[in-house]
Structure 1
Amino acid sequence: MQTIELGRTGQQVSRLALGAMQMGNATDEADSVRILDRYLEVGGSFIDTADCYEWWARPGSRGGESEELLGRWMRDGGRRDRVFLATKASAVPAYSPDLWAADGTANWDLARRTFAGAGARTLRDALDGSLRRLGTDHVDLYYIHVDDRATPLEETLETLAGMVEAGKVRYLGWSNVRTWRLERIRGLCERNGWPLPVAVQQQHTYLRPKAGVDTASIVDPEQLDYLRANDDQTLVAYSPILKGVYDSADKRGSHWMMADYAGPDTDARIAAVTEVAAEAGVTPNQLVLAWLLHQTAPRVVPLAGPRTPQQFEDALPALDVKLSDDQLTRLDEAGA
């Protein structure tokens, strides 16, 4: 697997990151270990988790299952030094029995109103908890998971800087964040000598959100422009294939993620993906991963989050796809 520099740090990470969100819940321990071992086998190193994964999977959970599983896996095989390890804080909701309905489904409206946030004490406690579950004395990349606009940025950034100075964190990242906030973060870091976040983790795929979509989580044209102009921050793209909608017309017609994308522009881009995928001899899902891997302005690290070992195997052919200039142009120009 090829590598890419994270920001302008000199740190190389694998070109395809592995998301461990479902590990320890939807993906059981045995299958999780198979995926993780296979990822190392093909040259992967960049593994992503969070302290909140997956509180919503079962009533009463406080999250941490993914970190605990990764801690066991790294310890059992002495694998910590082979992994560039990322985790996140700020998105564990305050405990309430009302976080789950009677049928066990999560109450996301309540969760979003009670996220832990990025205050100094909250972050210090969250990091110590993550280090304990992961069984390590440091994480390589530490994200603010959900941008917290109720806490002064100065408080958050100074706290994060202290974590870096203490050696508990090597690099910083931010997720689910608007572009103006990234610019404000940049200014504060420059003025105060604090370390700048070098990774921006956002939802990003080949499809473009439809007009009127207003969310801090999905990359928009302004954010792409910002990241092109500031290549000291690398875009880490979560949900790069939108739960696999590119391979399935039925899924595109029914999956909740399509609510932000459905429309004529998406129809045209699906047609372009289908056509180029046939030419390249891969599936549309694989083609979209390959297209992301070809992006240079800004550079993109797709974050694959397979639920099963087969889903992980299905993603691997994307690493070997070479798209011509003509194919890239046709993909880029498709749609409105």
Structure 2
Amino acid sequence: MSETRIGTIELGRTGEQVSSLALGAMQMGHATAEPEAIRILDRYRELGGSFVDTADCYEWWQRPGSRGGESEELLGRWMRDRGNRDEIFLSTKGSALPVYDEALWAADGTPDWELARRTFAGAGADTLRHALDGSLRRLGTDHVDLYYVHVDDRSTPLEETLEALAGLVTAGKIRYLGWSNVRTWRLERIRQLCDRYGWPAPVALQQQHSYLRRRAGATTASIVDDEQLDYLTEHRDLSLVAYSPIVKGIYDDPARRAEHWMMESYAGPDADARLNVVTGLAAELGVTPNQLVLAWLLHQSTPPVLPLIGPRTPEQFENLVPAIGLKLSVEHLAALDAAGA
């Protein structure tokens, strides 16, 4: 019996068909050593996947003195060795690499995220132009298929950012644009400016999105909320690319849920209720809760969701493969959707 292959989905309203399950390379080059990263990449390709995601800042925080770029360099070597650049829908990001400062790392190597967030490179015109050129050099290519503003930069006029990005599209260095970690009102302002000046508008929105819903009172702009889901349902020219779709694998492991920092954005009665339902249905279907959540995301249509997985090991990747072919009934989907406090 052959394995189910990864399908495709249209990117916004571009006519471009991309893999319905994207592969994130964030950990490749540090947390995931190169031989294991290559195994994951090759296996993803074997299953029909071609949408690979990285960023210029990955993973500066792993090593004192790092300026990021290790993931891009690894992907560049892989594409060169495999001769497959033309088969890969390649996305990367700029704006989130912090200004270099020895204080970014404590004596024990721990990164100072508060300092990093205060000193992100941002989305100024020159900053983005230089960041993209660096990414292209490391990736060994003359263009990327999708380029995101990684963190929304409110200190730079949107007109400056959008005009610079339009120039990079015209120059052939970028095919499509995206935005990440951004609020809905900012998205609408971006789209209005693009319409006014004839600039290319974003076709992808990369946000944190999973089966759990962010808790009441959480202020992060990175997690999709009800308003953003409604906006995306009405604006199908903008695809939702969902990062951390299984929230670092917490659905399978109560102990991991109890200790993982990402749960701070979700914890509460609503999360407890949804975890109970997803755990029970997974047992009934003979799958893991992580697999069920990923399958649920792949079934979404209002709006469609394109999950972006980031396995650290080949084993973690294989543990998610069954989700690709898992078919959920109308009753299963209704039970999952109805759960919550």
1:122 counterpart (101, 124, 127): 127
Could you list the per-position Cα deviations for residues 64-109 of structure 1 after superposition, in whole angstroms to 9, with x for gaps in the alignment?
Answer: 0000000000001101011000000000000000000111010000
- Please tell me whether residue 161 in structure 1 is matched to residue 166 in structure 2: yes
**Structure 2 match to 1:245:** 250
**Structure 2 match to 1:106:** 111
**Structure 1 match to 2:151:** 146
**Structure 1 match to 2:55:** 50
Q: Hey, what's the Cα distance between the residues in 1 that align with 2:165 and 2:285?
A: 44
Q: Hey, what's the Cα distance between the residues in 1 that align with 2:199 and 2:65?
A: 37
Q: Hey, what's the Cα distance between the residues in 1 that align with 2:141 and 2:285?
A: 42
Q: Hey, what's the Cα distance between the residues in 1 that align with 2:255 and 2:33?
A: 27
Equivalent residue runs for 1:282-301 within 5 Å? 282-301=287-306
Q: Hey, what's the Cα distance between the residues in 1 that align with 2:327 and 2:283?
A: 13
**Structure 2 match to 1:62:** 67
SS in 2 for 1:22: coil
- Indicate if the aligned counterparts of 1:280 and 1:321 stay in contact, CA closer than 8 A: no
Structure 2 residues without counterparts, runs of 5 or longer:
1-5
Runs of 4+ in 1 over 6 A off after TM superposition: none
SS in 1 for 2:165: helix
**Structure 1 match to 2:263:** 258
- Please tell me whether residue 91 in structure 1 is matched to residue 91 in structure 2: no
- Indicate if the aligned counterparts of 1:173 and 1:200 stay in contact, CA closer than 8 A: yes
The TM-score with structure 1 as length reference comes to 0.99
- Please tell me whether residue 304 in structure 1 is matched to residue 309 in structure 2: yes
Equivalent residue runs for 1:126-205 within 5 Å? 126-205=131-210
SS in 2 for 1:161: helix
- Indicate if the aligned counterparts of 1:51 and 1:130 stay in contact, CA closer than 8 A: yes
**Structure 2 match to 1:328:** 333
Q: Hey, what's the Cα distance between the residues in 2 that align with 1:131 and 1:167?
A: 12
The TM-score with structure 2 as length reference comes to 0.98
CA RMSD in angstroms, aligned pairs only: 0.6
Q: Hey, what's the Cα distance between the residues in 1 that align with 2:26 and 2:163?
A: 28
Equivalent residue runs for 1:8-47 within 5 Å? 8-47=13-52
Q: Hey, what's the Cα distance between the residues in 2 that align with 1:223 and 1:289?
A: 20
Q: Hey, what's the Cα distance between the residues in 1 that align with 2:33 and 2:270?
A: 38
Could you list the per-position Cα deviations for residues 135-154 of structure 1 after superposition, in whole angstroms to 9, with x for gaps in the alignment?
Answer: 00000000000000000000
Could you list the per-position Cα deviations for residues 238-273 of structure 1 after superposition, in whole angstroms to 9, with x for gaps in the alignment?
Answer: 000011100011111111111111111111100110
Q: Hey, what's the Cα distance between the residues in 2 that align with 1:44 and 1:280?
A: 25
Q: Which moved more, 1:259-268 or 1:143-152?
A: 259-268
**Structure 2 match to 1:318:** 323
Deviation at 1:280, TM superposition (A): 2.1
Deviation at 1:279, TM superposition (A): 2.4
- Indicate if the aligned counterparts of 1:21 and 1:305 stay in contact, CA closer than 8 A: yes
Equivalent residue runs for 1:224-243 within 5 Å? 224-243=229-248
Q: Hey, what's the Cα distance between the residues in 2 that align with 1:105 and 1:298?
A: 38
Q: Hey, what's the Cα distance between the residues in 2 that align with 1:5 and 1:76?
A: 29
Structure 1 residues without counterparts, runs of 5 or longer:
none
Q: Hey, what's the Cα distance between the residues in 2 that align with 1:72 and 1:248?
A: 35
